[in-house]
Amino acid sequence: MQNIDLYNFKGKKAFVRVDFNVPLDENGNITDDTRIRAALPTLKKILSDGGRLIIASHLGRPNKNPDPKYSLKQILPRVSKLLGVEVQFAPDCANAHAEVDLLKDGEALMLENLRFYAEEEGKPRGLSDDATDEDKAAAKKAVKASQKEFTKMLAAYADAYVNDAFGTAHRAHASTALIAEFFPDDKMFGYLMEKEVNAVDKVMNNIVHPFTAIMGGSKVSSKIEIIENLLTKVDNLIITGGMTYTFTKATGGKIGNSICENDKLDLALELLAKAKAKGVNLVLAVDAKAADKFDNDANTQFVDVDKIPDEWEGMDIGPKSEDLFADVIKSSKTILWNGPTGVFEFENFTHGTRVVGAAVVEATKNGAFSLVGGGDSVAAVNKFGIAEGVSYVSTGGGALLEAIQGIELPGIAAIKK
């Protein structure tokens, strides 16, 4: 693989896979352009070298070609504005040779949504509800066969391939992974991807101890693989959020109406035993902010986490747990944070998540490396305005979660190969 910083794009056509899957309102206006901004360093480097930039992305989950609701044309003006050049547009990503050939050094072209073609994902479309297993297998085989042609055709546009789409790195799609084999000497990560890969490396491989992972969120079942993998790496594992109560109930506590996965009680006990066997300090809340209904304006009281009265439910951690978590976090040199400590969408139940955030920021100030990632924790750091105070906020939700499960992401493996 090449290093983007050392690569000279002068006169070269560069196919750059970005993740411009930005949220749009009902009128097609971008409501958050973070993903576009995140790719700018890579795009600007190629243009300033005098390269010919081909920008490729998906947007949403279209099921047909074309589908104006998911057209990337809607975001073209914003991309041009942020990039500072007028970006051309190819309305059919699979027939863009004419537009590519017109590109001059230092010019940019954006392809229409790659997912307008089923071949991008390699998943069959349009199967009727009564399709048999044979029909499904035949349709899958057909799309896989045409996926090779589609990939080859995309690759033919360019001299170099740059993957800057961490958000889709966990997908083995045509433009995110398969295409890389056509550029054995000219494939590389973009700057954003490089930052993501380095951040993951710091919590998975090159760990400075003590390492604390904070896993919040609602369900143990959705985080089980991650927790299992983290138990082989961390010194401290804080399990918080709605997951707390499955553990509390499993160990005989009273949890009232708190969220609980009754079929995961044995699993919770197993995880406690595994942590003990591995010498991991598994930290659970000792108190809760309980509410008499699932509502921001509910009546509340602080109670021991294992003595939640009937009809009440734990909605956030209490002050004793806040101190306990903050002490562990502040004594750490590596921190991974995924998921809130409570129902942080309700203002009255944000306190625990805020205290955890402040502790992560303080530890970072004192030299710890902190990575925040995965859906809700990113929303939390943005909501509380502390993104600047942590070492890195990942742009990849699902991709980051798979990476911290220890899975090698296809988009990353294809470049490294």
What is the CA 10 to chain-centroid distance, rounded?
A: 32
Nearest to 240 by CA among 386, 330, 333, 349: 349
Report the residue number, 56 or 359, with the smaller CB distance to ligand AMP.
359
Report the residue number, 63 or 222, with the smaller CB distance to ligand AMP.
222
How many Cβ atoms sit within 10 Å of the Cβ of residue 65?
16
Asked whether 353 and 383 are in contact (CB, 8 A), the reply is no
Strands 88-90 and 313-317: unpaired
Nearest to 114 by CA among 57, 165, 198: 57
Measured distance CA(343)–CA(215) in Å, rounded? 14
Sites of contact with ligand AMP (CB under 6 A) = 217-219, 222, 241-242, 259, 314-315, 339-340, 342-343, 345, 375-376
Measured distance CA(372)–CA(349) in Å, rounded? 20
Reply yes or no on whether 202 is catalytic. no
Please name the residue that has the structure tokens 């990337």: 72
Reply yes or no on whether 13 is catalytic. no
Report the residue number, 319 or 375, with the smaller CB distance to ligand AMP.
375
3-class secondary-structure state, position 54: strand
Nearest to 402 by CA among 168, 208, 189, 58: 168
CB of 289 to ligand AMP, least distance (A): 9
Report the residue number, 96 or 255, with the smaller CB distance to ligand AMP.
255
Q: Which of 60, 253, 389, 398 is catalytic?
A: 398
Asked whether 114 and 57 are in contact (CB, 8 A), the reply is yes
Q: Which of 106, 253, 375, 406 is catalytic?
A: 375
CB of 308 to ligand AMP, least distance (A): 11
Residue 299: burial class (beta carbons within 10 Å; 0-12, 13-18, 19+): exposed
CB of 258 to ligand AMP, least distance (A): 6
Report the residue number, 343 or 360, with the smaller CB distance to ligand AMP.
343
Q: Which residue is nearest to ligand AMP (CB)?
A: 217
Reply yes or no on whether 398 is catalytic. yes
- The structure tokens listed for 268 are 């919770």
Neighbouring residues of 222: CB distance < 8 A, sequence distance ≥ 6: none
Q: Which of 12, 35, 195, 202 is catalytic?
A: 35
Reply yes or no on whether 375 is catalytic. yes
Q: In 216-358, where do the E strands start and end?
A: 236-239, 254-255, 281-283, 287-291, 300-304, 307-308, 313-317, 334-338
Report the residue number, 121 or 376, with the smaller CB distance to ligand AMP.
376
Left if phi > 0, otherwise alpha if psi is -120 to 50, otherwise beta: which for 84?
left
CB of 288 to ligand AMP, least distance (A): 8
- DSSP 8-state secondary structure symbol assigned to residue 46: H
Q: Which of 78, 140, 219, 274 is catalytic?
A: 219
CB of 384 to ligand AMP, least distance (A): 14
CB of 214 to ligand AMP, least distance (A): 12
Report the residue number, 296 or 391, with the smaller CB distance to ligand AMP.
296
CB of 246 to ligand AMP, least distance (A): 11
Residues marked active site are found at 35, 219, 375, 398
